[in-house]
Amino acid sequence: MPAAVLKKQFASFLPLDWQDRPAPELARTGLPEVDATTGGLPRGCLTEIFGPASSGRTSLLCAILREAAARAEECALVDAEDAFDPVRASQAGVRLDRLLWVRCDHNAEHALKAADLLLQGGGFGLVAMDLGDTPAARRISLASWFRLRRAVEHTPTVLLMLARQSNAKTCASLMLECARREAEWCGKPSGRLLRGIRVEIARRKPGRAGAMNVRFPLR
Amino acid sequence: MFGSLCANGNLTSLALEFSPLVEQSAPNAVAFDAAGLTRLFGLPQDIAAAIARRAAELQFKANIALAANPDAALCAARGFAGTSIVPQGDEAKFLARLPLKLLAPSPELQDTLERWGIRRFQDLAALPELGIAERLGPEGLKLRRLARGEVERKLRPIDAPERFEETFESEYPVELLEPLLFVLARLLNGLTLRLATRALATDELRLRLALENRALHQRTLRLPVPSVDTKAFLKLLQLDLSAHPPPAPIVEVWLGMNPVKPRAAQTGLFIPAAPEPIELEITLARIRAIVGHDRAGWPEVLDTHRPDAFKMRARSAASPRPLTPGPWPLRLFRPPRPARVALVSGQPGFVAAEGIRGKVLDLAGPWRTSGDWWTADPWSRDEWDIALSDGALYRIYCEPRGWFVEGSYD
């Protein structure tokens, strides 16, 4: 039976707002280009950032961490690959005193458990799970993602997942795909310098796809 | 019956060993309630002898007096050396020869009494009450009653330093965590109740387990904020004992708490919510049980130029913020991946490492960095930024041990 018919039949029995879910509150990412396209990261939802190496995933994550800390929110980073660089992140403006860092030593299962515990504990403005290039990320079942999505629902927490490829599928409320465009080099061959990287961040879900170019300075 | 001690030394602790009701009457004198001591020691002389023995053990000589009221005992202890037992009903006679200065009258009253030739207790005690009241007022009357040893009053006891400790001695060795938790729950409930009734909380739990092999297993849990949350304490102890189990069965459990004032803080309406400190401590303990004790916390950058120099803190601490944001971070490989590098004209031309393989399309470097050459652990390396044919950007470096890929720009 088509959904429209069902809706028509049962609408009279159900409360008026049975299908009207309030739009989630959005949190800024700290990158004006991304905020202009997506409006920000939805609270109480799972946001997925994925892309290959050197596609700006980590820089985008750091920008989000920096912005969340600037809002005086407590953040947690579950780092499955132990890849976070606190020295340069601190130089980039990330408040380390507001960042709980869980190092999972290349164990995606530990990362999932830690993220679940942090979400159950509550109180964080942002919980980010960096699965990076961990091969085990692909083997995480959809049920695990669903559990995380349920855990973050109705909370003011932004749940962020970062990986090489999309894993959460339908459980993600917002999907941002990062792609590398070009590296910026400058100077003569004898004294060349890597100035920055240009990446393209594309919104894959929800609604209409949109893409934006972002430059991350490296010097 | 009341006792009094007069000496230079820690009289309070000595008196507290014999009575819970101790009054610090003067810097060098205390009075205490000795009512129940006859059941323990017998006659007043035996009580005084027991106190004198204990004072000798503590290596100070105290004047000891026992009387029916505290002020008579105090006067006797101040006025007579050694041990004095003031007979009940004969206080005036016993104290008769003591100088009036012991009662510390006001200077004006002392002048008046001097002029009258009243210098001893017996002189004042012999004067008529009505005449004293007419000529010297209430202060004179009070002095007369003191001199006659007739003042009946209650002690103003000092607050003894309380110890929040509980011990449980098991009839049989406890081998499993679950029965131990029952014991701990009982001890925690008692201690937190005592704290709560005194409007106190604790910021430290000290657990000492006496083991069957006569060893001691000690754990100390420091809390981020003072609390009296028994359930949280029990969970924290459970997680800690699971992570650090005692090596042998337990025969005795001792639990102590550090009493502190409870936290009084009001959050603002517009301040973002933060994790509840005790809940966060439990969450952290659970996470540390999974990932390892030193792998969850707040990073703190060390004051050195050595690459990747940081330490993990168990609690959040204010860190300096950069004045101007710097470059975006690397995605590090921990540990750095050993690499095979083919050189072309002295520059990296091909790089192969775990998960990385490609021809170098573009590069920048080398930059030589070094440090700590004045220590036993110096470091130096040449760094390159490279763009590989796989499309990614990496930071590689060469040091005496060989080539390594430090991380990728991401």
**CATH assignment of the domain containing B200:** 3.30.1490.100
> In chain B, which residues have their Cβ closer than 8 Å to the Cβ of A58?
328-331, 410
- The pLDDT tens digits of the residues spanning A173-198 come to 899 999 988 888 888 777 788 888 88
Of A54-58, A151-155, B158-162, B380-384, the range with the lowest mean pLDDT is B158-162
The residue range of the domain holding A204 is 22-217
The domain total for chain A is 1
Nearest-CB residue to A123 (from B280, B308, B331): B280
Query: Is B350's pLDDT higher than 90?
Result: yes
Choose, out of A28, A77, A100, A182, the residue to mutate when testing the contact with B (most B CBs < 10 Å). Answer: A100
Name the residue range of residue B13's domain. Answer: 2-147
Which B residues in the span 370-399 are in contact with A, Cβ-Cβ below 8 Å? 385, 387, 390-393
Inter-chain residue contact B393 with A52, CB threshold 8 Å:
no
Residue B104 pLDDT greater than 60, yes or no: yes
B8 phi and psi, to 5 degrees? Answer: -100, 115
Q: Are residue B18 and residue B131 in the same domain, yes or no?
A: yes
Q: State the pLDDT at residue A15.
A: 59
Tell me the percentage of chain B whose pLDDT exceeds 90. Answer: 36
Give the range among A25-29, A41-45, A118-122, B10-14 with minimum mean pLDDT.
B10-14
Of B316, B322, B329, the CB nearest to A62: B329
Show which of B88, B116, B147 is a domain's final residue. B147
Q: CB–CB of B296 and A103 under 8 A?
A: yes
Q: What is the pLDDT of residue B346?
A: 86
pLDDT band for position B135 (cuts 50, 70, 90): confident
Q: How far is CA B32 from the centre of its chain?
A: 29
Which range is least confidently modeled, B153-167, B352-366, B376-390?
Answer: B153-167
pLDDT digits (tens, 9 = 90+) for B290-312: 998 889 999 998 888 888 889 98
B31 compared with A5, residue with greater pLDDT:
B31
Cross-chain Cβ contact B325/A183 below 8 Å: no
Task: Please indicate whether, in this complex, the C-beta atoms of A185 and B362 are within 8 angstroms of each other.
Answer: yes
Q: Nearest-CA neighbor of B156 among B78, B73, B70?
A: B70
Confidence of residue A33 (pLDDT cuts 50, 70, 90): confident
In a domain, A7, yes or no: no
Q: What is the pLDDT of residue B256?
A: 94
Work out the angle at residue A202's Cα, subtended by the Cα atoms of residues A110 and A198, and round it to the nearest 5 degrees: 95
d(CA B63, CA B80): 7
CA-nearest residue of chain B to A164? B410
Q: Both B51 and B129 in a single domain?
A: yes
- The answer to whether position A187 is within a domain reads yes
In this prediction, residue B249 carries a pLDDT of 93
Query: How many Cβ contacts (< 8 angstroms) between chains A and B?
Result: 187
Res A166 pLDDT > 60: yes
Chain A partners of B365 at a C-beta cutoff of 8 Å? 192
Per-residue confidence (pLDDT) for residue A16, from 0 to 100: 54
Apex CA B148: angle with CA B147 and CA B151, to 5°? 90
For residue A17, count CB atoms less than 10 angstroms from its CB and return exposed for 0-12, middle for 13-18, buried for 19 or more: exposed
- The residue from B244, B260, B276 where one domain ends is B260
Q: Which of A74, A92, A133 is the closest to B274 by Cβ?
A: A74
CA B365 to CA B29: how far, in whole Å?
81
Most A CBs within 10 Å, among B284, B304, B328, to test the A interface: B328
Tokens read off for B63: 């004047």
Which of B59, B33, B57 minimizes the C-alpha distance to B47? B33
Collect all residues with Cβ–Cβ distance below 8 Å to B303 and sequence separation of at least 6: none
For residues B89 and B176, membership in a common domain is answered with no
pLDDT tens digits for range B43-74: 888 999 999 888 888 888 888 999 988 999 99
Any domain includes B286: no
| pLDDT score of A216 | 81
Using the beta-carbon criterion (under 8 Å), do A156 and B295 form an inter-chain contact? no
- Taking the Cβ of residue B301 and every Cβ of chain A, the question of whether any pair is shorter than 8 Å is answered with yes
Whether B142 and B173 map to the same domain: the answer is: no
| pTM, 2 dp | 0.74
* A-chain residue closest to B272, CA distance: A73
Number of folded domains that form chain B: 3
pLDDT mean over A4-32:
73
Angstroms from B368 CA to nearest CA on chain A? 13
pLDDT of residue B391: 87
Nearest to A54 among B287, B290, B410 (CB): B410
Q: Please identify, among B147, B179, B202, the residue that sits at the C-terminal boundary of a domain.
A: B147
In a domain, A15, yes or no: no
Q: Are residues B65 and B6 in the same domain?
A: yes
Residues B169 and B141 placed together within one structural domain of the fold:
no
Is B310 an interface residue toward A (CB < 8 Å)? yes
What pLDDT does residue B322 have? 57
Confidence of residue A11 (pLDDT cuts 50, 70, 90): low
Nearest residue of chain A to residue B361 (CA atoms): A183
Put simply, the answer to whether A192 touches B364 (Cβ < 8 Å) is yes
Test the B interface: residue of A67, A81, A188, A194 with most B CBs within 10 Å: A194
Q: Return the percentage of chain B with pLDDT > 70, whole number.
A: 97
The greatest distance separating any two alpha carbons of chain A, rounded to the nearest whole angstrom, comes to 76
A11 against A150, higher pLDDT: A150
Compute the distance between CA of residue B24 and CA of residue B102 in angstroms, rounded to an integer: 16
A105 and B291 within 8 Å at the Cβ level: the answer is yes
Instruction: Tell me, yes or no, if B362 comes closer than 8 A to chain A by beta carbon.
Output: yes
CB B38 within 8 A of CB B70: no
Contact B52, B65 (CB under 8 A): no
Structural domain contains residue B317: no
Residue B62 forms part of a structural domain:
yes
As to burial, measured by CB atoms within 10 angstroms (0-12 exposed, 13-18 middle, 19+ buried), residue A19 is: exposed
What is the CATH classification number for the domain harbouring A201? Answer: 3.40.50.300
pLDDT confidence band for B345 (50 / 70 / 90): confident
Contact B316 A66 (CB under 8 A): no
pLDDT of residue A30: 87
Sheet of strand B63-67, all strands in order from the earlier edge strand to the far edge: B22-26, B29-33, B2-6, B63-67, B83-85
Residue of B nearest to A131 (CA): B331
In a domain, A55, yes or no: yes
DSSP B288: H
Chain B partners within 8 Å of A90 (Cβ): 301, 319, 322
**Has residue A30 been placed in a domain?**
yes
Q: Which residue of A has its CA nearest to B386?
A: A194
Band the pLDDT of B24: cuts 50, 70, 90.
confident
**B168/B234 same-domain check:** yes
* Residue from the list B301, B355, B408 with its beta carbon closest to the beta carbon of A54: B408
The per-residue pLDDT of chain A, averaged, comes to: 86
| pLDDT class of B35 with cuts at 50, 70, 90 | confident
pLDDT for the residue B109: 87
Instruction: Note whether B183 and B245 are same-domain residues.
Output: yes
CB atoms within 10 A of CB A197: 24
Chain A contact set for B392 (CB, 8 A): 52-54, 180
Q: Is the pLDDT of residue B341 over 90?
A: yes
Q: Are B297 and A100 in contact (CB under 8 A)?
A: yes
- Average predicted confidence (pLDDT) for chain B: 88
